[in-house]
Amino acid sequence: MADISMELVKELRQRTGAGIMDCKVALQENSADMEKAIEYIQKKGLAKAAKKAGAIAAEGVVHAYIHAGSRLGVLVEVNCQTDFVARSEDFTKYAEAVGLQIASMTPLYVRRGDVPADVIAKQREIFEAQMAEETAATGKKKPAEVVEKILAGKVDKWLQEVCLVEQLSVVDPDKTIQVMADELSAKIGEKIAVRRFVRYELGEGIEKKATDLAAEVAATISGS
């Protein structure tokens, strides 16, 4: 095994928050390659985070995001297991990222389990009608099993779009909101979960000239 210096161990510990022995093993297993060791720790950490799925996360914050001009606002409850973690910088950054996500991407639910069965059934009917129109226009009828696979794929994609934790983050487009939560959970050693949210848009439900505030929020993020 590679001879690992304490300086390397301390650096890995600072960058990942993992224990000293875990850091030493990670460096030994990866020939003192820091980036590979970080990946090793993350993978091991995510496994630990998965074990925390049954833990009770009753602490946390209710985070408020108000868009410039006060025309759009979000309240989101993000939970952890201790008040100490709720006050940490990493947890606060995650809550802020979730608030921005809701403002810009307009999710309808937190996770798939929150979507009522009748809503999913209705969306499936819409996709079925669209496919029927396509068949009528082209005159090409697909086999029933192919139609079923296409419908299942469309419903799955729709659920990814309307469920907050499955959306790709506007802050880190390579990760979903859930992956960000899992990585944070691995780092701090506590279960992290988004519980609920509300999104308010000025004049919502009142008939008036339409403005796309979600697009405006996204543009503000990309320009910052």
pLDDT at 106: 95
Structure tokens belonging to residue 201 = 């848009």
Structure tokens belonging to residue 110 = 């937190």
Assess whether 98 and 134 both reside in one domain. Answer: no
Question: For 66-84, how does the pLDDT look when each residue is reduced to its tens digit (9 = 90+)?
Answer: 988 899 999 999 999 888 8
Average of per-residue pLDDT values in the chain: 86
pLDDT-wise least confident of 19-33, 117-131, 148-162, 164-178: 19-33
Assess whether 103 and 174 both reside in one domain. Answer: yes
Domain count, the chain: 3
Decide if pLDDT at 220 tops 90: no
- Cβ atoms of 191 and 80 closer than 8 Å: yes
Q: Which residues span the domain enclosing 145?
A: 116-161
Residue 12 CB burial class (10 angstroms; 0-12, 13-18, ≥19) = buried
Question: For 125-136, how does the pLDDT look when each residue is reduced to its tens digit (9 = 90+)?
Answer: 999 999 889 888
The strand order across the sheet containing 193-201 reads 59-66, 72-80, 193-201
